């Protein structure tokens, strides 16, 4: 073999080695990304919380109100209004502010708001100061998954009718007339 042929063969071998090295690096870079993606799809084993249905009781949740005080649901409660998002809150708060202090209690109703998705700084410096100005008690859910059993639709309120602590009716609405009817209708009608 002549000198030129040897150089040419070495060059081809070096190119093949470089190509193998480049592909190896590519796989080494892609492997952690693949592992990360697979771990994102892994689910933690959880015990499913049953959804609220007619005949069941409300889940026992240790609510606090907007003044950071424990606020259990009174035994005589016959109506529960559940707020799951900001759009739903914009429906109910004007109604209740117009009615004033003692309105919910007079209707044997409670208001529950799921605020766990709200950023903590917004909760602390914006939302809670606003909530403290409300003339009614707002029971707050601050932890993820606690309110999962409550049925919900974005932009609507969940209205739950109770009798002797058991759910007799569940309605989801964003209509003020239906909300007012729910609040004004005496128990058992």
Q: pLDDT truncated to tens, each residue of the chain (189 aa)?
A: 677 776 666 655 555 655 565 555 554 454 455 454 444 444 443 444 568 889 999 988 899 999 999 999 999 999 999 999 999 999 999 999 999 899 999 999 999 999 988 888 888 888 889 999 999 999 999 998 888 999 999 999 999 999 998 999 999 999 999 999 999 998 755
Residue 150 to residues 18, 53, 56, 74, 109, Cα–Cα distance (Å) = 60, 9, 12, 18, 16
What is the per-residue pLDDT for 121?
Answer: 87
pTM of this prediction?
A: 0.72
Count CA atoms closer than 13 A to 96's CA, side-chain side. Answer: 26
Which residue in 101, 107, 79, 95 sits closest to 163, CA to CA? 79
* Maximum separation of any 2 CA atoms in the chain, in Å: 106
What is the per-residue pLDDT for 31?
Answer: 45
Could you give the CA distance from residue 172 to residue 152 in angstroms, rounded to a whole number?
A: 7
99 three-state secondary structure = helix
Q: Which two tokens stand for residue 83?
A: 């707020």
What is the per-residue pLDDT for 30?
Answer: 45
What is the per-residue pLDDT for 36?
Answer: 47
């Amino acid at each position: 073999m002549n000198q030129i042929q040897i150089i040419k063969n070495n060059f081809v071998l070096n190119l093949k080695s470089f190509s193998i090295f480049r592909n190896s690096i590519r796989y080494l870079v892609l492997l952690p990304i693949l592992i990360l993606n697979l771990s994102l799809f892994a689910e933690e084993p959880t015990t499913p919380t049953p959804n609220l249905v007619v005949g069941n009781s409300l889940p026992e949740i240790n609510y606090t109100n907007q003044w950071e005080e424990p606020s259990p649901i009174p035994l005589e409660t016959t109506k529960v209004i559940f707020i799951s998002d900001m759009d739903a809150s914009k429906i109910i708060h004007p109604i209740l502010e117009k009615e004033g202090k003692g309105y919910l209690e007079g209707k044997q109703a409670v208001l529950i708001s799921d605020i766990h998705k709200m950023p903590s700084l917004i909760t602390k410096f914006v939302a809670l100061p606003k909530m403290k100005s409300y003339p009614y008690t707002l029971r707050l859910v601050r932890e993820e998954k606690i309110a999962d059993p409550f049925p919900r639709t974005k932009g609507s309120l969940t209205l739950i009718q109770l009798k002797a602590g058991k759910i007799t009716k569940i309605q989801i609405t964003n209509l003020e007339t239906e909300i007012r009817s729910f609040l004004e209708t005496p128990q058992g009608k």
